[in-house]
Amino acid sequence: MSSFVKLNITLPDEEDFRIYLQSILNAHAAAINQRDIAIYDTAENPTGQLWPNPSVSPDATNTTYRVFVPVTLSAYPAPNVFPHGLDIKGYVFTLITGTICNRVNRALAIPYPGTDQVLLDVNATDVIIQCSTNAFDGFVGEVVLEYLKLV
């Protein structure tokens, strides 16, 4: 049975040895990091998820990115508008979701399809939350956008 990493390595100089060790470290880090990375920030972060991209090649993948948009609802009956800071041309969204709460006794996922509806929309510049009543004025929360960049 052979090992995955060679046990006997002969390299002519220190620079070659450094490059070899760096490549092994990078390969190990890439293998370990193939998981969902739970960083929720207002700045764009890769999630660790890889989605297939068969339009490029059978083995091609796209990295999923995530951005977090904090929200405070107050504009009933007008829509609540929050800039997301993304240039979404060529993006495909894989997840658009969020939560809001009143910090006392009620929390809910958005979009919320109940009697008092809360609608969630994303356009080229903003996250838009539309409430059907003023029952959610003062609620705070966050919207999570996950997307692929295809261009």
Residue 17 lies in a domain: no
Is-above-0.85 flag for pTM? no
Residue 1 lies in a domain: no
Full 3-state SS string of the chain: CCCCCCCCCCCCCHHHHHHHHHHHHHHHHHHHCCCCCCCCCCCCEEEEEEEECCCCCCCCEEEEEEEEEEEECCCCCCCEEEECCCCCCCEEEEEEEEEEECCCCCEEEECECCCCCEEEEECCCEEEEEECCHHHCCCEEEEEEEEEECC
Residue 120 lies in a domain: yes
**Tens digits of per-residue pLDDT, 88-119?**
888 889 999 999 998 788 899 998 888 889 99
Residue 57 lies in a domain: yes
- The whole domain housing 123 covers 45-149
Residue 34 lies in a domain: no
What is the total count of domains within the chain?
1
Residue 107 lies in a domain: yes
